Chain A
Amino acid sequence: MKANKVITGIIGSVLGLLFLAPFYIILTNSFKTKKELFMNTLSLPKGLNFDNYIKAWKELDFIKVFFNSFLITLISIVVIIVFASMAAWMIQRTNNKIANLILYMFIAAMLIPFQSVMLPLVRLMGNLHMLNIPGIIFMYLGFGSSLSIFLYHGFIKSIPRSLDEAATIDGCNSLQTYIYVIFPILKPISITVALLNMVWIWNDYLLPSLTINNEETHTIPLRIFYFFGQYTKQWHLALAGLTLSIIPVIIFYFFAQKQIIESVTAGSVKS
Protein backbone atom coordinates (compact mmCIF):
# COMPACT_ATOMS: atom_id res chain seq x y z
CA MET A 1 0.00 0.00 0.00
CA LYS A 2 2.78 2.37 1.00
CA ALA A 3 4.79 1.45 -2.09
CA ASN A 4 1.71 1.99 -4.24
CA LYS A 5 1.37 5.50 -2.91
CA VAL A 6 5.00 6.30 -3.66
CA ILE A 7 4.63 5.07 -7.23
CA THR A 8 1.44 7.11 -7.68
CA GLY A 9 3.26 10.12 -6.28
CA ILE A 10 6.09 9.68 -8.76
CA ILE A 11 3.75 9.24 -11.72
CA GLY A 12 1.76 12.28 -10.58
CA SER A 13 4.89 14.41 -10.29
CA VAL A 14 6.12 13.38 -13.72
CA LEU A 15 2.75 14.24 -15.25
CA GLY A 16 2.72 17.52 -13.33
CA LEU A 17 6.10 18.47 -14.79
CA LEU A 18 4.88 17.47 -18.24
CA PHE A 19 1.86 19.78 -17.83
CA LEU A 20 4.13 22.60 -16.70
CA ALA A 21 6.68 22.10 -19.48
CA PRO A 22 4.95 24.38 -22.04
CA PHE A 23 4.89 27.23 -19.51
CA TYR A 24 8.56 26.65 -18.73
CA ILE A 25 9.45 26.59 -22.43
CA ILE A 26 7.73 29.84 -23.36
CA LEU A 27 8.93 31.61 -20.23
CA THR A 28 12.60 30.71 -20.64
CA ASN A 29 12.61 31.38 -24.38
CA SER A 30 10.90 34.73 -24.01
CA PHE A 31 14.07 36.06 -22.33
CA LYS A 32 16.37 35.01 -25.17
CA THR A 33 17.67 37.08 -28.05
CA LYS A 34 16.75 35.97 -31.53
CA LYS A 35 20.16 34.37 -31.96
CA GLU A 36 20.12 32.58 -28.62
CA LEU A 37 16.69 31.20 -29.43
CA PHE A 38 17.86 29.99 -32.79
CA MET A 39 20.81 28.18 -31.18
CA ASN A 40 18.91 26.38 -28.45
CA THR A 41 15.27 26.33 -27.37
CA LEU A 42 15.78 24.14 -24.32
CA SER A 43 18.59 25.92 -22.50
CA LEU A 44 18.09 28.52 -19.82
CA PRO A 45 18.46 32.11 -21.02
CA LYS A 46 21.88 33.73 -20.47
CA GLY A 47 20.36 36.40 -18.30
CA LEU A 48 17.10 38.14 -17.53
CA ASN A 49 16.95 40.23 -20.66
CA PHE A 50 13.73 42.25 -20.69
CA ASP A 51 14.21 43.78 -24.16
CA ASN A 52 11.65 41.43 -25.71
CA TYR A 53 9.13 42.33 -23.07
CA ILE A 54 9.64 46.05 -23.49
CA LYS A 55 9.18 45.78 -27.24
CA ALA A 56 6.17 43.44 -26.96
CA TRP A 57 4.59 45.65 -24.30
CA LYS A 58 4.80 48.64 -26.63
CA GLU A 59 3.74 46.82 -29.77
CA LEU A 60 0.78 45.20 -28.06
CA ASP A 61 -0.11 48.52 -26.49
CA PHE A 62 -0.57 46.26 -23.51
CA ILE A 63 -2.09 48.70 -21.03
CA LYS A 64 -4.75 49.72 -23.50
CA VAL A 65 -5.73 46.22 -24.65
CA PHE A 66 -5.64 44.96 -21.08
CA PHE A 67 -7.95 47.77 -20.07
CA ASN A 68 -10.30 47.04 -23.00
CA SER A 69 -10.49 43.36 -22.09
CA PHE A 70 -10.94 44.22 -18.44
CA LEU A 71 -13.69 46.74 -19.12
CA ILE A 72 -15.65 44.52 -21.51
CA THR A 73 -15.36 41.49 -19.21
CA LEU A 74 -16.25 43.37 -16.03
CA ILE A 75 -19.25 45.27 -17.39
CA SER A 76 -20.57 42.19 -19.19
CA ILE A 77 -20.38 40.15 -15.98
CA VAL A 78 -22.13 42.82 -13.92
CA VAL A 79 -24.86 43.16 -16.53
CA ILE A 80 -25.29 39.38 -16.80
CA ILE A 81 -25.45 38.91 -13.02
CA VAL A 82 -28.01 41.65 -12.47
CA PHE A 83 -30.31 40.90 -15.39
CA ALA A 84 -30.04 37.10 -15.39
CA SER A 85 -30.78 36.84 -11.67
CA MET A 86 -33.76 39.23 -12.04
CA ALA A 87 -35.16 37.24 -14.95
CA ALA A 88 -34.57 33.88 -13.27
CA TRP A 89 -36.23 35.00 -10.05
CA MET A 90 -39.29 36.32 -11.86
CA ILE A 91 -39.55 33.20 -14.04
CA GLN A 92 -39.22 30.84 -11.09
CA ARG A 93 -41.70 32.70 -8.87
CA THR A 94 -44.32 33.32 -11.56
CA ASN A 95 -44.13 29.72 -12.74
CA ASN A 96 -47.06 29.91 -15.21
CA LYS A 97 -47.20 28.78 -18.83
CA ILE A 98 -45.58 31.89 -20.28
CA ALA A 99 -42.79 31.91 -17.70
CA ASN A 100 -41.99 28.26 -18.34
CA LEU A 101 -42.08 28.74 -22.08
CA ILE A 102 -39.54 31.55 -21.78
CA LEU A 103 -37.35 29.39 -19.53
CA TYR A 104 -37.39 26.50 -22.02
CA MET A 105 -36.50 28.89 -24.82
CA PHE A 106 -33.42 30.06 -22.95
CA ILE A 107 -32.41 26.48 -22.14
CA ALA A 108 -33.07 25.10 -25.62
CA ALA A 109 -30.95 27.87 -27.14
CA MET A 110 -27.89 26.38 -25.44
CA LEU A 111 -27.94 23.85 -28.28
CA ILE A 112 -27.21 26.55 -30.86
CA PRO A 113 -23.50 26.90 -31.59
CA PHE A 114 -22.17 30.42 -32.14
CA GLN A 115 -21.17 29.65 -35.73
CA SER A 116 -24.81 29.04 -36.63
CA VAL A 117 -25.87 32.58 -35.80
CA MET A 118 -22.71 34.63 -36.31
CA LEU A 119 -23.23 35.71 -39.92
CA PRO A 120 -26.80 37.07 -39.57
CA LEU A 121 -25.84 38.47 -36.17
CA VAL A 122 -23.01 40.58 -37.53
CA ARG A 123 -25.26 41.87 -40.31
CA LEU A 124 -28.05 42.69 -37.89
CA MET A 125 -25.75 44.39 -35.38
CA GLY A 126 -24.16 46.35 -38.22
CA ASN A 127 -27.57 47.61 -39.29
CA LEU A 128 -28.31 48.61 -35.69
CA HIS A 129 -24.94 50.46 -35.53
CA MET A 130 -23.90 48.31 -32.61
CA LEU A 131 -20.52 47.00 -33.76
CA ASN A 132 -18.82 48.67 -30.81
CA ILE A 133 -18.11 48.08 -27.11
CA PRO A 134 -21.69 48.63 -25.87
CA GLY A 135 -22.83 46.32 -28.68
CA ILE A 136 -20.37 43.62 -27.60
CA ILE A 137 -21.58 43.82 -24.01
CA PHE A 138 -25.15 43.56 -25.26
CA MET A 139 -24.23 40.44 -27.23
CA TYR A 140 -22.47 38.88 -24.24
CA LEU A 141 -25.66 39.43 -22.25
CA GLY A 142 -27.62 37.72 -25.01
CA PHE A 143 -25.30 34.73 -25.27
CA GLY A 144 -24.62 34.51 -21.54
CA SER A 145 -28.29 34.63 -20.51
CA SER A 146 -29.11 30.98 -21.17
CA LEU A 147 -26.61 29.29 -18.87
CA SER A 148 -26.77 32.06 -16.27
CA ILE A 149 -30.58 32.02 -16.02
CA PHE A 150 -30.51 28.24 -15.89
CA LEU A 151 -28.04 28.24 -12.98
CA TYR A 152 -29.89 30.99 -11.11
CA HIS A 153 -33.24 29.27 -11.68
CA GLY A 154 -31.96 26.06 -10.12
CA PHE A 155 -30.65 27.94 -7.10
CA ILE A 156 -33.77 30.08 -6.58
CA LYS A 157 -35.96 26.96 -6.43
CA SER A 158 -34.36 26.23 -3.06
CA ILE A 159 -35.13 29.67 -1.60
CA PRO A 160 -38.45 29.50 0.30
CA ARG A 161 -41.23 31.69 -1.08
CA SER A 162 -42.13 32.77 2.44
CA LEU A 163 -39.14 35.12 2.32
CA ASP A 164 -40.62 36.96 -0.67
CA GLU A 165 -44.03 37.01 1.01
CA ALA A 166 -42.66 38.42 4.25
CA ALA A 167 -41.01 41.23 2.31
CA THR A 168 -44.28 41.97 0.50
CA ILE A 169 -46.15 42.13 3.78
CA ASP A 170 -43.52 44.56 5.05
CA GLY A 171 -44.47 46.77 2.12
CA CYS A 172 -41.70 46.00 -0.37
CA ASN A 173 -42.55 46.06 -4.08
CA SER A 174 -40.99 43.55 -6.45
CA LEU A 175 -37.88 45.59 -7.10
CA GLN A 176 -37.26 46.22 -3.41
CA THR A 177 -37.83 42.56 -2.56
CA TYR A 178 -35.31 41.58 -5.22
CA ILE A 179 -32.68 44.10 -4.16
CA TYR A 180 -32.90 43.75 -0.38
CA VAL A 181 -34.01 40.16 0.12
CA ILE A 182 -33.24 37.97 -2.88
CA PHE A 183 -30.06 39.30 -4.43
CA PRO A 184 -27.95 39.00 -1.25
CA ILE A 185 -29.01 35.35 -0.82
CA LEU A 186 -27.86 34.61 -4.37
CA LYS A 187 -24.22 35.39 -3.59
CA PRO A 188 -22.79 31.85 -3.93
CA ILE A 189 -24.42 31.22 -7.30
CA SER A 190 -23.54 34.76 -8.42
CA ILE A 191 -19.87 33.95 -7.86
CA THR A 192 -20.25 30.81 -9.97
CA VAL A 193 -22.02 32.71 -12.74
CA ALA A 194 -19.40 35.49 -12.63
CA LEU A 195 -16.42 33.15 -12.87
CA LEU A 196 -17.88 30.98 -15.63
CA ASN A 197 -18.71 34.01 -17.74
CA MET A 198 -15.37 35.59 -16.96
CA VAL A 199 -13.31 32.67 -18.28
CA TRP A 200 -15.42 32.66 -21.44
CA ILE A 201 -15.54 36.41 -22.14
CA TRP A 202 -11.92 37.15 -21.24
CA ASN A 203 -10.66 34.48 -23.63
CA ASP A 204 -13.22 34.94 -26.40
CA TYR A 205 -11.65 35.64 -29.76
CA LEU A 206 -14.28 35.03 -32.43
CA LEU A 207 -16.98 37.49 -31.34
CA PRO A 208 -14.60 40.45 -30.91
CA SER A 209 -12.87 39.55 -34.18
CA LEU A 210 -16.20 39.81 -35.98
CA THR A 211 -17.43 42.96 -34.28
CA ILE A 212 -14.43 45.14 -33.40
CA ASN A 213 -12.91 46.88 -36.39
CA ASN A 214 -11.31 49.68 -34.47
CA GLU A 215 -7.76 49.08 -33.20
CA GLU A 216 -8.43 51.35 -30.25
CA THR A 217 -10.91 48.85 -28.83
CA HIS A 218 -8.95 45.61 -29.41
CA THR A 219 -9.12 43.02 -26.67
CA ILE A 220 -6.10 40.92 -25.64
CA PRO A 221 -6.88 37.82 -27.78
CA LEU A 222 -7.65 40.00 -30.79
CA ARG A 223 -4.43 42.00 -30.48
CA ILE A 224 -2.39 38.82 -29.91
CA PHE A 225 -3.74 37.47 -33.19
CA TYR A 226 -2.55 40.48 -35.17
CA PHE A 227 0.68 40.74 -33.21
CA PHE A 228 1.43 37.11 -33.91
CA GLY A 229 0.77 37.49 -37.61
CA GLN A 230 3.25 40.34 -37.66
CA TYR A 231 6.03 38.61 -35.69
CA THR A 232 5.56 35.06 -36.83
CA LYS A 233 9.24 34.62 -37.71
CA GLN A 234 10.40 36.48 -34.62
CA TRP A 235 9.61 34.00 -31.90
CA HIS A 236 11.50 35.87 -29.17
CA LEU A 237 9.04 38.79 -29.44
CA ALA A 238 6.00 36.61 -30.00
CA LEU A 239 6.77 34.54 -26.90
CA ALA A 240 7.20 37.64 -24.75
CA GLY A 241 3.79 38.83 -25.99
CA LEU A 242 2.17 35.47 -25.27
CA THR A 243 3.69 35.37 -21.79
CA LEU A 244 2.44 38.88 -21.07
CA SER A 245 -1.04 37.91 -22.14
CA ILE A 246 -1.28 34.89 -19.83
CA ILE A 247 0.26 36.51 -16.73
CA PRO A 248 -3.02 38.19 -15.63
CA VAL A 249 -4.88 34.87 -15.92
CA ILE A 250 -2.27 32.98 -13.90
CA ILE A 251 -2.20 35.64 -11.17
CA PHE A 252 -5.98 35.61 -10.92
CA TYR A 253 -6.01 31.82 -10.85
CA PHE A 254 -3.69 31.68 -7.87
CA PHE A 255 -5.98 33.95 -5.88
CA ALA A 256 -9.31 32.42 -6.84
CA GLN A 257 -8.48 28.83 -7.79
CA LYS A 258 -10.76 27.22 -5.24
CA GLN A 259 -13.79 29.20 -6.38
CA ILE A 260 -12.88 28.76 -10.05
CA ILE A 261 -12.65 24.99 -9.74
CA GLU A 262 -15.91 24.82 -7.76
CA SER A 263 -17.68 27.00 -10.32
CA VAL A 264 -16.48 24.95 -13.24
CA THR A 265 -17.67 21.77 -11.53
CA ALA A 266 -21.08 23.30 -10.78
CA GLY A 267 -21.46 24.70 -14.29
CA SER A 268 -20.54 21.53 -16.12
CA VAL A 269 -22.40 19.04 -13.97
CA LYS A 270 -25.62 21.03 -14.11
CA SER A 271 -25.53 21.68 -17.81
Chain B
Amino acid sequence: MRRSKVAFYGFIAPCFIAFTITVIIPFIFGIYYSFTDWNGIKSDVSFIGFSNYAEIFSDKGFGSSFLFTILFAVASVLLINIIGFTLAIIVTRKLKIQNVLRTVFFMPNLIGGLILGFIWQFIFVKVFAMIGDATGAKWMLGWLSTTETGFWGLVILMCWQMSGYIMIIYIAALQNIPTELIEASKIDGANFKARMKHIIFPLIRPGFTVCLFLTLSNAFKLYDQNLSLTGGAPRNSTQMLALNIYNTAFKFNKMGQAQAKAIIFFVVIALISLIQVYFSKKGEVEL
Protein backbone atom coordinates (compact mmCIF):
# COMPACT_ATOMS: atom_id res chain seq x y z
CA MET B 1 0.00 0.00 0.00
CA ARG B 2 1.47 3.33 -1.04
CA ARG B 3 0.57 6.60 0.44
CA SER B 4 1.36 9.92 -1.12
CA LYS B 5 4.26 11.92 0.27
CA VAL B 6 1.91 14.83 0.79
CA ALA B 7 -0.20 12.80 3.19
CA PHE B 8 2.89 11.54 5.01
CA TYR B 9 4.39 14.97 5.64
CA GLY B 10 1.00 16.55 6.19
CA PHE B 11 0.19 14.17 9.03
CA ILE B 12 3.58 14.47 10.68
CA ALA B 13 4.12 18.21 10.14
CA PRO B 14 2.23 19.73 13.12
CA CYS B 15 4.07 17.67 15.74
CA PHE B 16 7.33 17.81 13.86
CA ILE B 17 7.34 21.58 13.46
CA ALA B 18 6.39 22.23 17.09
CA PHE B 19 8.96 19.68 18.25
CA THR B 20 11.72 21.12 16.05
CA ILE B 21 11.10 24.69 17.18
CA THR B 22 10.74 23.93 20.89
CA VAL B 23 13.28 21.13 21.34
CA ILE B 24 15.69 20.54 18.46
CA ILE B 25 16.59 24.11 17.47
CA PRO B 26 16.94 25.35 21.08
CA PHE B 27 19.04 22.30 21.87
CA ILE B 28 21.44 22.97 18.99
CA PHE B 29 21.52 26.70 19.72
CA GLY B 30 22.07 25.81 23.36
CA ILE B 31 25.27 23.97 22.56
CA TYR B 32 26.46 27.00 20.59
CA TYR B 33 25.45 29.50 23.31
CA SER B 34 27.39 27.52 25.89
CA PHE B 35 30.55 28.67 24.07
CA THR B 36 29.56 32.35 24.01
CA ASP B 37 29.41 35.33 26.33
CA TRP B 38 25.61 35.63 25.93
CA ASN B 39 24.23 37.67 28.83
CA GLY B 40 20.64 38.18 27.79
CA ILE B 41 21.03 41.94 27.46
CA LYS B 42 23.16 42.77 24.44
CA SER B 43 21.80 41.34 21.25
CA ASP B 44 25.01 40.12 19.64
CA VAL B 45 26.95 37.34 21.28
CA SER B 46 30.57 36.43 20.67
CA PHE B 47 32.32 33.11 20.72
CA ILE B 48 34.59 32.64 23.73
CA GLY B 49 35.58 28.99 23.43
CA PHE B 50 35.62 26.81 26.52
CA SER B 51 35.86 29.59 29.11
CA ASN B 52 32.29 29.02 30.35
CA TYR B 53 33.08 25.38 30.99
CA ALA B 54 36.42 26.25 32.55
CA GLU B 55 34.71 28.74 34.86
CA ILE B 56 32.17 26.13 35.99
CA PHE B 57 34.91 23.91 37.33
CA SER B 58 36.15 26.70 39.55
CA ASP B 59 32.58 27.70 40.51
CA LYS B 60 32.17 26.49 44.10
CA GLY B 61 28.43 27.14 44.00
CA PHE B 62 27.93 24.71 41.14
CA GLY B 63 30.15 22.11 42.78
CA SER B 64 28.20 22.24 46.02
CA SER B 65 24.88 22.16 44.13
CA PHE B 66 26.11 19.08 42.33
CA LEU B 67 27.12 17.38 45.56
CA PHE B 68 23.87 18.36 47.28
CA THR B 69 21.89 16.98 44.33
CA ILE B 70 23.77 13.67 44.39
CA LEU B 71 23.28 13.28 48.16
CA PHE B 72 19.62 14.20 47.82
CA ALA B 73 19.21 11.71 44.97
CA VAL B 74 20.79 8.87 46.97
CA ALA B 75 18.71 9.52 50.09
CA SER B 76 15.41 10.10 48.30
CA VAL B 77 15.79 7.21 45.84
CA LEU B 78 16.47 4.76 48.67
CA LEU B 79 13.67 5.99 50.91
CA ILE B 80 11.05 6.40 48.18
CA ASN B 81 11.68 2.88 46.90
CA ILE B 82 11.61 1.33 50.38
CA ILE B 83 8.43 3.18 51.32
CA GLY B 84 6.81 2.63 47.92
CA PHE B 85 7.53 -1.09 48.01
CA THR B 86 6.25 -1.39 51.59
CA LEU B 87 3.03 0.40 50.61
CA ALA B 88 2.63 -1.93 47.63
CA ILE B 89 2.98 -4.98 49.90
CA ILE B 90 0.44 -3.54 52.33
CA VAL B 91 -2.22 -2.79 49.73
CA THR B 92 -1.89 -6.15 47.94
CA ARG B 93 -2.68 -8.28 50.99
CA LYS B 94 -6.43 -8.28 50.34
CA LEU B 95 -7.34 -5.88 53.13
CA LYS B 96 -10.82 -4.38 53.20
CA ILE B 97 -9.45 -0.86 53.19
CA GLN B 98 -6.83 -1.42 50.48
CA ASN B 99 -8.59 0.62 47.81
CA VAL B 100 -9.01 3.57 50.15
CA LEU B 101 -5.35 3.29 51.09
CA ARG B 102 -4.22 3.24 47.45
CA THR B 103 -6.25 6.36 46.76
CA VAL B 104 -4.73 8.13 49.76
CA PHE B 105 -1.14 7.11 49.07
CA PHE B 106 -1.30 8.18 45.44
CA MET B 107 -3.09 11.50 46.00
CA PRO B 108 -0.09 13.79 46.75
CA ASN B 109 1.43 12.83 43.41
CA LEU B 110 -1.20 14.79 41.49
CA ILE B 111 -0.54 18.10 43.21
CA GLY B 112 1.97 20.41 41.62
CA GLY B 113 5.46 20.49 43.10
CA LEU B 114 5.33 24.22 43.68
CA ILE B 115 2.19 23.98 45.82
CA LEU B 116 3.52 20.93 47.69
CA GLY B 117 6.64 22.87 48.62
CA PHE B 118 4.60 25.69 50.13
CA ILE B 119 2.40 23.25 52.05
CA TRP B 120 5.45 21.59 53.59
CA GLN B 121 7.09 24.90 54.31
CA PHE B 122 4.17 25.61 56.63
CA ILE B 123 4.43 22.18 58.25
CA PHE B 124 8.17 22.36 58.83
CA VAL B 125 8.36 25.97 59.92
CA LYS B 126 5.13 26.40 61.89
CA VAL B 127 3.76 23.01 62.88
CA PHE B 128 7.11 21.38 63.68
CA ALA B 129 8.11 24.40 65.74
CA MET B 130 4.89 24.23 67.71
CA ILE B 131 5.22 20.53 68.46
CA GLY B 132 8.87 21.09 69.36
CA ASP B 133 7.98 23.91 71.76
CA ALA B 134 5.17 21.93 73.36
CA THR B 135 7.09 18.69 73.84
CA GLY B 136 10.60 20.03 74.27
CA ALA B 137 11.82 18.07 71.23
CA LYS B 138 14.72 20.27 70.19
CA TRP B 139 15.21 18.55 66.85
CA MET B 140 11.87 19.87 65.68
CA LEU B 141 12.89 23.49 66.05
CA GLY B 142 14.36 25.69 63.34
CA TRP B 143 13.53 23.48 60.37
CA LEU B 144 14.60 24.76 56.94
CA SER B 145 16.95 27.25 58.59
CA THR B 146 19.95 24.91 58.35
CA THR B 147 21.36 22.91 55.45
CA GLU B 148 20.60 19.59 57.17
CA THR B 149 16.96 20.35 57.91
CA GLY B 150 16.53 21.79 54.41
CA PHE B 151 17.97 18.59 53.00
CA TRP B 152 15.73 16.30 55.04
CA GLY B 153 12.79 18.58 54.43
CA LEU B 154 13.22 18.07 50.70
CA VAL B 155 13.63 14.32 51.17
CA ILE B 156 10.46 14.06 53.29
CA LEU B 157 8.51 16.15 50.79
CA MET B 158 9.63 13.95 47.90
CA CYS B 159 8.83 10.76 49.81
CA TRP B 160 5.33 12.05 50.46
CA GLN B 161 4.87 12.98 46.84
CA MET B 162 6.46 10.06 45.02
CA SER B 163 6.03 6.97 47.22
CA GLY B 164 2.45 6.50 46.05
CA TYR B 165 3.54 6.72 42.43
CA ILE B 166 6.28 4.15 42.93
CA MET B 167 3.80 2.01 44.87
CA ILE B 168 1.57 1.85 41.78
CA ILE B 169 4.42 0.49 39.66
CA TYR B 170 5.36 -2.07 42.31
CA ILE B 171 1.73 -3.16 42.55
CA ALA B 172 1.71 -3.81 38.79
CA ALA B 173 4.95 -5.79 39.15
CA LEU B 174 3.62 -7.81 42.11
CA GLN B 175 0.42 -8.65 40.27
CA ASN B 176 2.45 -10.06 37.40
CA ILE B 177 3.80 -12.80 39.67
CA PRO B 178 1.80 -15.97 38.96
CA THR B 179 -0.20 -17.02 42.01
CA GLU B 180 0.75 -20.67 41.43
CA LEU B 181 4.33 -19.81 42.30
CA ILE B 182 3.30 -18.24 45.59
CA GLU B 183 0.96 -21.13 46.38
CA ALA B 184 3.62 -23.70 45.54
CA SER B 185 6.12 -21.99 47.81
CA LYS B 186 3.59 -21.98 50.65
CA ILE B 187 3.01 -25.71 50.22
CA ASP B 188 6.77 -26.22 50.26
CA GLY B 189 6.77 -24.47 53.62
CA ALA B 190 8.47 -21.21 52.63
CA ASN B 191 7.77 -18.40 55.08
CA PHE B 192 7.19 -14.73 54.19
CA LYS B 193 10.88 -13.92 54.32
CA ALA B 194 11.91 -16.81 52.13
CA ARG B 195 9.18 -16.01 49.59
CA MET B 196 10.38 -12.43 49.43
CA LYS B 197 13.97 -13.42 48.87
CA HIS B 198 13.57 -16.27 46.41
CA ILE B 199 10.39 -15.47 44.50
CA ILE B 200 9.15 -11.92 44.86
CA PHE B 201 12.42 -9.98 44.64
CA PRO B 202 13.78 -11.78 41.57
CA LEU B 203 10.47 -11.49 39.74
CA ILE B 204 9.85 -7.81 40.38
CA ARG B 205 13.27 -6.80 39.09
CA PRO B 206 11.91 -5.14 35.95
CA GLY B 207 9.59 -3.01 38.10
CA PHE B 208 12.47 -2.28 40.44
CA THR B 209 14.68 -1.03 37.59
CA VAL B 210 11.91 1.26 36.32
CA CYS B 211 11.31 2.67 39.80
CA LEU B 212 14.96 3.14 40.58
CA PHE B 213 15.67 5.23 37.53
CA LEU B 214 12.37 7.10 37.57
CA THR B 215 13.12 8.30 41.07
CA LEU B 216 16.75 8.95 40.20
CA SER B 217 16.04 11.15 37.19
CA ASN B 218 13.22 12.91 39.06
CA ALA B 219 15.55 13.64 41.95
CA PHE B 220 18.19 15.07 39.62
CA LYS B 221 15.70 17.26 37.75
CA LEU B 222 13.94 18.58 40.87
CA TYR B 223 13.11 22.27 40.54
CA ASP B 224 9.62 23.35 41.66
CA GLN B 225 9.80 21.73 45.09
CA ASN B 226 13.29 23.09 45.65
CA LEU B 227 12.18 26.59 44.72
CA SER B 228 9.10 26.67 46.92
CA LEU B 229 10.33 24.72 49.95
CA THR B 230 13.76 26.21 50.59
CA GLY B 231 14.51 28.44 47.60
CA GLY B 232 18.13 27.38 48.14
CA ALA B 233 18.26 28.85 51.64
CA PRO B 234 20.23 29.11 53.81
CA ARG B 235 22.95 30.80 51.71
CA ASN B 236 22.27 28.71 48.59
CA SER B 237 23.36 25.59 50.47
CA THR B 238 20.20 23.69 49.52
CA GLN B 239 20.25 24.84 45.92
CA MET B 240 20.02 21.94 43.51
CA LEU B 241 21.32 21.79 39.94
CA ALA B 242 18.18 22.99 38.16
CA LEU B 243 17.77 25.95 40.49
CA ASN B 244 21.46 26.79 40.17
CA ILE B 245 21.10 26.91 36.37
CA TYR B 246 18.03 29.13 36.65
CA ASN B 247 19.69 31.54 39.07
CA THR B 248 22.89 31.75 37.02
CA ALA B 249 20.79 32.77 34.04
CA PHE B 250 18.22 35.10 35.55
CA LYS B 251 19.77 36.42 38.76
CA PHE B 252 23.27 36.94 37.44
CA ASN B 253 22.44 37.30 33.75
CA LYS B 254 25.20 34.87 32.83
CA MET B 255 23.18 33.17 30.13
CA GLY B 256 26.18 31.62 28.36
CA GLN B 257 27.50 30.14 31.56
CA ALA B 258 24.06 28.91 32.61
CA GLN B 259 23.75 27.25 29.23
CA ALA B 260 27.10 25.50 29.69
CA LYS B 261 25.81 24.19 33.03
CA ALA B 262 22.62 23.11 31.26
CA ILE B 263 24.65 21.08 28.77
CA ILE B 264 26.52 19.35 31.59
CA PHE B 265 23.12 18.77 33.22
CA PHE B 266 21.89 17.16 30.00
CA VAL B 267 24.90 14.85 29.83
CA VAL B 268 24.31 13.69 33.42
CA ILE B 269 20.59 13.05 32.89
CA ALA B 270 21.18 11.31 29.55
CA LEU B 271 23.82 9.05 31.11
CA ILE B 272 21.45 8.08 33.93
CA SER B 273 18.71 7.23 31.42
CA LEU B 274 21.00 5.26 29.12
CA ILE B 275 22.38 3.24 32.04
CA GLN B 276 18.77 2.50 32.92
CA VAL B 277 18.06 1.13 29.45
CA TYR B 278 21.19 -1.00 29.69
CA PHE B 279 20.22 -2.47 33.04
CA SER B 280 16.57 -3.00 32.09
CA LYS B 281 17.64 -5.10 29.14
CA LYS B 282 20.17 -7.05 31.15
CA GLY B 283 19.64 -9.55 33.92
CA GLU B 284 15.88 -9.72 34.11
CA VAL B 285 14.50 -13.07 35.17
CA GLU B 286 12.50 -14.84 32.48
CA LEU B 287 9.64 -17.09 33.50
Least distance between A207 CB and chain B CB atoms (Å):
10
> Which residue of A110, A142, A203, A228 has the most chain B CB atoms within 10 A of its CB atom?
A142
Interface string of A144-171 (1 = CB under 8 A from B): 0110010000000000010011001000
Q: A42-B130, A224-B115, A245-B115 are in contact. Are A116 and B165 (CB under 8 A)?
A: no
Is A238 a contact of B22 with CB atoms below 8 Å?
A: no
Pick out which of these stretches binds chain B: A49-57, A58-66, A185-193, A263-271. Answer: A263-271
Interface string of B103-137 (1 = CB under 8 A from A): 11111111111110011101100110011000000
B265 within 8 A of A: yes
User: Which listed residue, A12, A91, A265, touches B90 by the CB 8 Å rule?
Assistant: A12
Complex alpha-carbon distance, A120 and B36, angstroms = 12
- Chain B residues whose C-beta falls within 8 Å of the C-beta of A99 in the assembled complex: 8
Is B119 a contact of A12 with CB atoms below 8 Å?
A: no
In this complex, the interface size class of chain B, counting residues with CB under 8 Å from chain A, is 35 or more
Is A12 a contact of B101 with CB atoms below 8 Å?
A: yes
Least distance between B84 CB and chain A CB atoms (Å):
12
Is A115 a contact of B122 with CB atoms below 8 Å?
A: no
Nearest chain B residue, comparing its CB with the CB of A82: B14
Is B273 a contact of A224 with CB atoms below 8 Å?
A: no
Q: A111-B273, A121-B26, A261-B106 are in contact. Are A203 and B118 (CB under 8 A)?
A: no
Is A139 a contact of B118 with CB atoms below 8 Å?
A: no
A202 within 8 A of B: yes
Complex alpha-carbon distance, A205 and B207, angstroms = 29
Is A168 a contact of B105 with CB atoms below 8 Å?
A: no
Nearest chain A residue, comparing its CB with the CB of B272: A111
Classify the secondary structure of A's interface with B. helix
Is B266 a contact of A116 with CB atoms below 8 Å?
A: yes
> Which residue of A20, A165, A203, A220 has the most chain B CB atoms within 10 A of its CB atom?
A203
Complex alpha-carbon distance, A202 and B255, angstroms = 28
Pick out which of these stretches binds chain A: B146-154, B177-185, B241-249. Answer: B241-249
User: Which listed residue, B102, B122, B227, touches A25 by the CB 8 Å rule?
Assistant: B122
Closest 6 CB pairs of A and B: A142-B22, A203-B112, A90-B11, A142-B18, A120-B26, A117-B26
Given contacts A89-B11, A117-B26, A224-B114, 13 further A-B contacts (CB under 8 A): A12-B98, A13-B97, A15-B87, A41-B127, A112-B27, A116-B266, A118-B262, A124-B25, A141-B18, A146-B23, A253-B107, A264-B165, A268-B165
List the interface of chain B (C-beta within 8 A of A): 1, 3-4, 7-8, 11-12, 14-16, 18-27, 29-30, 33, 87, 90-91, 93-98, 100-115, 118-120, 122-123, 126-127, 130-131, 160, 164-165, 168-169, 172, 207, 210, 214, 221, 223-224, 227-228, 241-242, 245-246, 249, 255, 258-259, 262-263, 265-266, 269-270, 273-274
